[in-house]
Every structure is written in structure tokens, then in C-alpha cells.
A and B are shown apart, each in its own frame.
Chain A
């Protein structure tokens, strides 16, 4: 039965621990309920000789099988003995057995798990093997062997059960330790000069207690299940002593006359097991829970109309036209804005760069365009026009048809974006057939053609391989091939080269440029890398704290940024700084959604900020033909007509 424990569920559960674990646990009503029940039950059983209304062996043959009455709250059994009293007395043995088993499991499992996980190497492999072997043995059968030789010896049975249960705890502790050992802070502790014993005691043990408690409560549940099972079979206690399992067995003999007798013991066993299980669940949840949203003020959205005036850089023939797109994240019943009225146009065949630091809302804007927002986020308002038609009005089904054939998407993590269980070829074939209803053979041919299109050497061989066999650059080429299968007209690429080496990045950028020339598709490229922007983009949209702060042609932006954030970010690039001098840097960081200032969101970090900046939300303004900026002081900060660039 012990094998039923869900494996690994609690591994490293406390890794994300935040705040006092005990306090968080006790904030959960379920945990309090479970703990209170178990405590009361234990107390009642321990005090059974004092509080039980009758002696458990006292027979009252006049009131046999009475059912619940005022005298016998839970009724009487076949010999007229009081069921409640028998339950309280019987619980002593059951709970003691659970404790015995627990002690053995923890005494073996925790130290050995820590040892294996921390030392690693050969001793770890040996321990794991032995644990694996022991876990494969059905515990009950070995316990029966023990009981065959040592009849009615419940202690021996529970110790054996504990030994066989220990590998499960060992494995969990080992897994958590192994993971923790790889944490950089453990390496840092080594470099700080800590001894191994201290590292284990201070950095590892406290963080495996969560999973250990979870495992302990799961084990306790199984131990009780097991103990009552043995008692039911009559293999442990002698027939006169009251036991929970034995009471169920006794009741089963008189089921035809009095069904009630089954319930007191049966339900009590089930409820106690449930309490152990709930306690484990609560501990696990408390360990992984992220901190409650806390005191995040929901920022009232700026008054309408100020976000984005009819932009003067409007292009009537735009392929994609985004207007006032806002995305919110629902957190604790409050909508926190993530993207705030973003507008831009994408022309056919052009590459638009969406630039900014992390937390500015670039990726979320892109996912909103594709209707692929993570759960909890939704588009609050705005218009997404595709060739003059507002696709936000489309039903989900109608929109599904656009994905892949009109919009396509390439993500940041090349390997993770491919299905690990299917071959590259079969994924391509599926996507191809999804777009063009053709035969399997034709789809295969098209898949190979796509692989050649993204310059894969030996496409036949690659088609037969799986994602894990590819390098990052290759995987990204495949992801691009998948995106191209439906001959899309707009490719949305979210940091497509960030995870790649710089030489590979150059190849991917070159590939994107070539594909664009050949197919005429437009690209929206999300990046934080100025070099990538300079290399491939025609126009840029700079985002800060969920808003567009500047929008213009790429060369102009590099030559003459018209927003202090753009300027500051450009200056921070090390290639623009003099060697060995201090880098011009902006103080502070991008404010988190929900913490956005009411006025200009960049003002707290801006060296040009004045009182007027923080007074009210700042609208975007057309500052030059085809250029918008969200800076109230743009004229003062960036006086016009300075001669452009050197070349």
C-alpha cells in the first residue's frame, strides 16, 4: 500500500519558501483543522482510561448491538461492549504504531537521503539503487512473513513497514538535497569557508523540512491504513484487545443484522487518514505558496484620451494597426495593468522593434496580439486591426484560423518551444497539414522544403531527430520553419536570439532578413539588445512600464533619441562608453506593474525630471513628423535642429 504515495510530488517543495513557513501553514484553515483533529484524537486516546465512559471489555449482554443511544453514544457491539470506549482504547495502539513507523522511516530516510544527495557520486548511486529495489517490494507481503515468524508482534510489523517505507523518504530528501546542492548559494557557502556539516545544517536541512513533513504525513496515513488492515485480518492484536481494524472485522460478521456497527471504527479510520493527508497537502501548499500579493495599490488607469491621442505617425496602409491595447492581470480580485494603451502600426514587409527592459510589457503585448496571454491576464481594451479589420471582435474559433497563417510566433527558448516527444519531421508535417489540406507525402515534401528554407544541413536526418538532439541555433531554425509553415504575413519574434551565442545570433538574424526579403512578411521583433535593433529593425517602439515612450524610425532613434529613457538606455550600452570610464547609468529600476507612479513613469529615474513631470499622467505627443515621444519636457531636454550624427 505504501507504494500508492504519489511519488516526487513534494520534491523541493520548500524551494520557493517565502516568509515564516509555520506562520503561513497556520494561516490555512485546513491545516489548523487537521492539526487540531489529530491533537484532540491523540489526547483522547491517551486519556482513554480517564475519559472513556465504560471499560472497553465490560460486557452488557442485555444491550447487544444497540446502535447509538443515550447510554452508549456510538452504540454497543456483539457482546454489548461500549463502542466509544473501545475506539478510544483501541486508538492507543494504532497511534503508537504510526509513531513507531514514523520514527523508523525518518531515522533511516532523512540522514541517508541527505548523505546521498549531498555527496553525490558513487555512494549516492548505490543508495539510490538500494532504495529503488526496496521500493519495488510490496511491503505487506514481507510484513506477513515477519508476522508468520513472530505471531502478533505488532512492533516488529511496524518496524519492518518503516524500513520498507524509508526509501520513499530517502528519495525525496535526496532529490531535494541534490537540487539544493546545485543552488549557487550552497556553492557560495562553500566559498565563504563553511564546513560541510555547517552547510548541510544551515543551508540544506532547513529547506528539506517541508518535503520531509509532507512525506511524513503521507507515510502516517499509509501506516494507519496498514495497521488497521493488519488488525482487521486479526494478525496483530489478540482478539480480546480492542483495535480499530478488529472492530470493523467484528462488525462485518453481523452486517446483516446491524450495519451501523461498521461505521464508527471505519469512519474514524478514514477521517484520521484524511487528516494526515490534508496536513501533508497543506504543508506542501504552504511551502510552494508565493507570497500573497501584499500591499499593491491598484493604479487607477489614467483618464481616457490621454493615453494615446490620434497618432500623427498613423499609416493608412498599415498591415497591423494596434490602438490603445491594454492588458491587465487579475490578482486577488484586482486588475493590475500590465500593458497600458499601446499603439503602433506595422507596414507590410517591415521590421518593427519592440524595445525595453524586462517588465516593460513587450512580450505581453505580443502575446496579446496572438491571443496567447497566460492565464490570469486578459486584454482590457484596445483595437487590433489587421488590414483594416478589427480582429479583436473575432470569435476564438475564427481567430484560431489566423494563427500560423496570418500571424506566426517564434519564442525565446528554442528547445523548449518544440514538443520533446515527437520528431521534428512529424511536428512539421502536422503543422503543414493543418494549413494546407494535402496528402501526408506532400506534407513531408513541404516539411523538407521548409527545413531547406531555414538552411538546415541534411534536412532528412534532422527531420528524424528530436528536439533534445539539436543545438540552440538549430532548434531556433526549426521553430522558424514551424512558424513559416502557414506562410504567415506577420512574424512575431519574442527575443529570438537572446538565449543564443553571439555568432549563432548573427546567423539567425541573417536568416530572418533573408526570409523577409523572399516572402515579404513583416516582423515584430521584441528585444532588449540595441545591437539587434540596429541590425534588423526599420522602426522602433520603445516601451517603459507598460507604455510606449517613443516611436520612430530606427536610425533617428539612435542618432537623436527624444525620450530620456531611450537616451539613458542607449548610454548604458558598454560599446558606447569609453573604455575604463564609468558607464553613464540610470539610478533605480523599472517599477513593477501596480507600482507605477501617477505622473511620468520614468520621472523617478530621470535626471531631467521636474515637478511638472510628476504632476499628471503624460500623454504621447507627436514631436516631429513620424515621431512620437512621451516626455513633457521634450523641447527643453532635446532642443531641436542639432546637426544629426556625424555621417
Chain B
């Protein structure tokens, strides 16, 4: 098991290097000039030259890359061009917002989705169709549209929740909860759809497998067969999907935090893009990647716990 984790960690190193390298190369090689974009058409040639120097654009590519990487490893992701604050500082203060939303919506999606999925697998036919329909609609509604609808209904028409903004839980736990309900639901809807469908399919497949027949023939109770044996075998694809919806929710924050004006990583990413703040957006990319690597690692560990064959392989 420890070896498995170790190997997984080793495998994530390329990813951690790849993403920053990719963003770095993209910035360097794309036939646009960041400095030119930043100064805009109104800026003078002197401003442009100075910016080039600040950004280190005059240095050769590999030197710039090496400097950037060295700093990044030491936790220095540079300064935001726009606010002149260190990128890590800017992003660190916003982590808790994004985590509240992403973890909350993943948990919500997993719980509701698994419950739906099991119910549908137990009673195929009509409830199976309901899951299909719900998941179709859930996946198709763009989250920015869904978010706006929820605001229109539950913040404007019936003011149950605040339309925008985020309250720190240290200030008021209750207000914090109220402030994240709508964005969490928005982010969770596609996840519920995916998890419900996957659970239904996986449970359906598992219940058809020969060992279930053996257990039934041995007189094992239906409850134990469904919730202990079938669910555990079906859990492997479900866990995969939960990992995927976590990453999906993380991506979703880019839009949802904008809709609800939440000061999280996703919102920052959009601002940084609009302001061409390259170091800042690179920083967000690194943060996202680290989170994804950690989540995938967690998923792998859960696999090993669930499936004895993984432990050996």
C-alpha cells in the first residue's frame, strides 16, 4: 500500500512540472507578446521596453524558465502585474472560498447521487428513466445559467439566500453557510447527475455478477448483498467518478464564483485573464494542478483500500 502511494506520488511529479512548463512555454511561444498586450496600443515604446525588462523577456527562454522554476519550487510564484502583490499571498487568502465550494458540492453530489443511483438500480424501469432524465438535464444546463436561475428564484423572488458574496466562517458560521448554499448547489447539480448514473450502472452490473448469485444461494440477506457486497464492488467506478466531479467542480468555480461574485481562485483567474496578469494566472494554474494531483492520489488510495487486486498490482 505504501509502495502504491509512493509510486503514485512519483507519477504526479511530471504533472506538477508539466503544467507550469506548459503555461510557461505557451506564454513564451505564442505569437503574441505579453508586454505588447499589456501596454496596449496607447502605451509608449519606453513603457513597453520597461515592461519587457520587468517580465524578463529579454533573457533567453531557458534562463527565464530556470529562474521561474527555481522560484516556484521555493514557493515564489512571482508578483501579480496588476496589484504588485506576491501571487502566493493573493491566492492563499482565497483558497478557503474555493475549497468551501468544491468540497461542499462534491460531498453533496456524492451523497445525493449515490442514493439516487442505488434507488434506481434496485427498481429498474421507471426510476431508471427518471435518473436518465435528471442526469440529462443536470448535465446540459450551463452552470452560469443555473446559478443565475437560482439567484432569480431564491435570492431575488424569494430572498432566502444572499445573491452574491462570501462570508468567512470565522465571522459567522451561519452566514457562511447561507452564502455558499446557492453556489454549492449550482456546482453539485452536474455532479449529482454523473454520480447517479454511474452508481445506477455500476450497481446494475454488479448485481448481475455470478458472486451475487452465490451469496444469495448461501442465504445472505438482501440488505447485506446490496449495501455490503454490491456497493463495495460498485464503489470503484463510483470513486473514480467522484474524483472526476471534484475536478469538474474546481473548473466550475471559474464561472460560478464569477456569477456569485465570490472571492475565490476561480474568480481571480477570470480577472487575471481579463487583465492579462500572466504571473497570477500561471499561479492559479499551479494551484489547480496541485489540488488535482492530491485528489487523484486520494482516489488511488481509496482504490487500493476497495480493491485487493490493486494493492498487489
Direct A–B contact present (CB less than 8 angstroms): yes
| Pairwise interchain contact B214-A229, C-beta atoms closer than 8 A | no
In whole angstroms, how far apart are the Cα atoms of A139 and B272 in the complex? 16
Residues of B near A65 (CB, < 8 A) are none
Q: Which of A560-603 contact B (CB under 8 A)?
A: none
In whole angstroms, how far apart are the Cα atoms of A133 and B18 in the complex? 8
Cβ of B278 within 8 Å of any chain A Cβ, yes or no, is yes
Interface centre among B26, B37, B220, B250 (most CB of A within 10 A): B220
Looking at the complex, which one of A4, A266, A407, A467 makes contact with B190 (CB distance below 8 Å)?
A4
Cβ of A194 within 8 Å of any chain B Cβ, yes or no, is no
Cβ of B129 within 8 Å of any chain A Cβ, yes or no, is no
In whole angstroms, how far apart are the Cα atoms of A229 and B26 in the complex? 22
Question: How far apart are B37's CB and chain A's nearest CB, in angstroms?
Answer: 6
Cβ of A111 within 8 Å of any chain B Cβ, yes or no, is no
Q: Which of A230-263 contact B (CB under 8 A)?
A: 232-235, 245, 248-249, 251-252, 255-256, 259, 262
Q: Which of B140-160 contact A (CB under 8 A)?
A: 140-145, 148-149, 151-152, 156
Given contacts A149-B32, A372-B213, contact A4 B218 (CB under 8 A): no
Beta-carbon nearest neighbor of B143 in chain A:
A229
| Pairwise interchain contact A141-B284, C-beta atoms closer than 8 A | yes
Q: Which of B206-249 contact A (CB under 8 A)?
A: 208-211, 213-222, 224, 229, 232-233, 240-241, 244-245, 247-248
> Taking chain A's interface residues, is the majority helix, strand, or loop, or is none over half, making it mixed?
helix
Residues of B near A486 (CB, < 8 A) are 218-219
Q: Which of A430-486 contact B (CB under 8 A)?
A: 430-431, 434-435, 466-469, 479, 482-483, 485-486
Residues of A near B161 (CB, < 8 A) are none
Looking at the complex, which one of B139, B198, B247, B309 makes contact with A273 (CB distance below 8 Å)?
B139
Flag the segment in B56-64, B72-80, B289-297 that touches A.
B289-297
Residues of B near A145 (CB, < 8 A) are 23, 26-27, 273, 278, 281-282, 285
Q: Which of B5-37 contact A (CB under 8 A)?
A: 14-15, 18-19, 22-23, 26-27, 30, 32, 34, 37
Interface centre among B141, B211, B213, B285 (most CB of A within 10 A): B211
Question: How far apart are A243's CB and chain B's nearest CB, in angstroms?
Answer: 13
In whole angstroms, how far apart are the Cα atoms of A303 and B163 in the complex? 73
Beta-carbon nearest neighbor of B292 in chain A:
A136
| Pairwise interchain contact B309-A466, C-beta atoms closer than 8 A | yes
Residues of B near A419 (CB, < 8 A) are 211, 215, 229, 232-233
Cβ of B252 within 8 Å of any chain A Cβ, yes or no, is yes
Question: How far apart are B94's CB and chain A's nearest CB, in angstroms?
Answer: 14
Residues of B near A4 (CB, < 8 A) are 139, 190-191, 194, 244-245, 248
Question: How far apart are B303's CB and chain A's nearest CB, in angstroms?
Answer: 11
| Pairwise interchain contact A409-B213, C-beta atoms closer than 8 A | yes
| Pairwise interchain contact B34-A235, C-beta atoms closer than 8 A | no
Looking at the complex, which one of A150, A402, A420 makes contact with B308 (CB distance below 8 Å)?
A420
Looking at the complex, which one of B27, B140, B148 makes contact with A262 (CB distance below 8 Å)?
B148
Give the A interface residue count (CB, 8 A). 85
Flag the segment in A323-331, A410-418, A605-613 that touches B.
A410-418
In whole angstroms, how far apart are the Cα atoms of A434 and B222 in the complex? 12
Interface string of B179-218 (1 = CB under 8 A from A): 0000000000011001001100100000011110111111
Residues of A near B22 (CB, < 8 A) are 137, 142
Question: How far apart are B306's CB and chain A's nearest CB, in angstroms?
Answer: 6
In whole angstroms, how far apart are the Cα atoms of A144 and B288 in the complex? 13
Question: How far apart are A315's CB and chain B's nearest CB, in angstroms?
Answer: 25
| Pairwise interchain contact A256-B142, C-beta atoms closer than 8 A | no
In whole angstroms, how far apart are the Cα atoms of A248 and B147 in the complex? 11
| Pairwise interchain contact A149-B276, C-beta atoms closer than 8 A | yes
Looking at the complex, which one of A233, A249, A408, A468 makes contact with B218 (CB distance below 8 Å)?
A408
| Pairwise interchain contact B248-A3, C-beta atoms closer than 8 A | yes
| Pairwise interchain contact A405-B219, C-beta atoms closer than 8 A | yes
In whole angstroms, how far apart are the Cα atoms of A469 and B309 in the complex? 9
Beta-carbon nearest neighbor of B207 in chain A:
A375
Q: Which of A215-236 contact B (CB under 8 A)?
A: 221, 225, 228-229, 232-235
Beta-carbon nearest neighbor of B22 in chain A:
A142
Looking at the complex, which one of A1, A233, A408 makes contact with B270 (CB distance below 8 Å)?
A233
| Pairwise interchain contact B139-A277, C-beta atoms closer than 8 A | yes
Question: How far apart are A289's CB and chain B's nearest CB, in angstroms?
Answer: 16
Looking at the complex, which one of A7, A141, A434 makes contact with B221 (CB distance below 8 Å)?
A434
Residues of B near A136 (CB, < 8 A) are 15, 247, 289, 292-293, 296
In whole angstroms, how far apart are the Cα atoms of A422 and B212 in the complex? 13
Question: How far apart are A138's CB and chain B's nearest CB, in angstroms?
Answer: 4
Given contacts A150-B32, A252-B148, A269-B145, contact A466 B254 (CB under 8 A): no
Cβ of B258 within 8 Å of any chain A Cβ, yes or no, is yes
Cβ of B251 within 8 Å of any chain A Cβ, yes or no, is yes
| Pairwise interchain contact B152-A262, C-beta atoms closer than 8 A | yes
Given contacts A270-B141, A404-B219, contact A421 B233 (CB under 8 A): yes
Cβ of A151 within 8 Å of any chain B Cβ, yes or no, is yes
Cβ of B255 within 8 Å of any chain A Cβ, yes or no, is yes
Residues of A near B296 (CB, < 8 A) are 136
Interface centre among B156, B197, B215, B219 (most CB of A within 10 A): B219
| Pairwise interchain contact A255-B221, C-beta atoms closer than 8 A | no
| Pairwise interchain contact B251-A138, C-beta atoms closer than 8 A | yes
| Pairwise interchain contact A138-B211, C-beta atoms closer than 8 A | no
| Pairwise interchain contact A137-B19, C-beta atoms closer than 8 A | yes
Residues of B near A640 (CB, < 8 A) are none
| Pairwise interchain contact A417-B148, C-beta atoms closer than 8 A | no
Cβ of A377 within 8 Å of any chain B Cβ, yes or no, is no
Given contacts A4-B245, A235-B270, A266-B145, contact A431 B218 (CB under 8 A): yes
Cβ of A271 within 8 Å of any chain B Cβ, yes or no, is yes
Cβ of A146 within 8 Å of any chain B Cβ, yes or no, is yes
Beta-carbon nearest neighbor of B211 in chain A:
A419
Given contacts A1-B251, A138-B288, A401-B219, contact A266 B213 (CB under 8 A): no
Cβ of A36 within 8 Å of any chain B Cβ, yes or no, is no
Cβ of B307 within 8 Å of any chain A Cβ, yes or no, is yes
Cβ of B175 within 8 Å of any chain A Cβ, yes or no, is no
Beta-carbon nearest neighbor of A164 in chain B:
B22
Residues of B near A407 (CB, < 8 A) are 217
Looking at the complex, which one of A140, A142, A248, A409 makes contact with B217 (CB distance below 8 Å)?
A409
Question: How far apart are A164's CB and chain B's nearest CB, in angstroms?
Answer: 10
Interface centre among A6, A142, A434 (most CB of B within 10 A): A6
| Pairwise interchain contact B250-A138, C-beta atoms closer than 8 A | yes
| Pairwise interchain contact A149-B278, C-beta atoms closer than 8 A | yes
Beta-carbon nearest neighbor of A271 in chain B:
B140
| Pairwise interchain contact B148-A255, C-beta atoms closer than 8 A | yes
Residues of A near B32 (CB, < 8 A) are 149-150
Given contacts A149-B26, A403-B217, A482-B214, contact A274 B140 (CB under 8 A): yes
| Pairwise interchain contact B285-A133, C-beta atoms closer than 8 A | no
Given contacts A7-B240, A149-B34, A420-B233, contact A142 B285 (CB under 8 A): yes
Nearest 6 Cβ contacts at the A-B interface: A404-B219, A409-B217, A266-B145, A274-B140, A273-B140, A403-B219
22 example contacts (A-B, Cβ-Cβ < 8 A) are as follows: A4-B139, A6-B197, A7-B240, A133-B14, A136-B293, A140-B254, A142-B19, A142-B26, A148-B276, A151-B276, A221-B139, A232-B258, A248-B145, A255-B148, A269-B145, A403-B217, A417-B211, A417-B214, A419-B211, A419-B215, A434-B220, A466-B309
List the interface of chain A (C-beta within 8 A of B): 1, 3-4, 6-7, 9, 133, 136-142, 144-151, 156, 221, 225, 228-229, 232-235, 245, 248-249, 251-252, 255-256, 259, 262, 266, 269-271, 273-274, 277-278, 281, 370, 372, 374-375, 400-405, 407-409, 411, 413, 416-423, 430-431, 434-435, 466-469, 479, 482-483, 485-486
What 14 new A-B contacts, CB under 8 Å, besides A137-B18, A408-B217? A140-B251, A141-B269, A141-B281, A142-B26, A145-B285, A148-B276, A232-B144, A259-B152, A277-B139, A407-B217, A416-B210, A417-B214, A421-B233, A431-B218
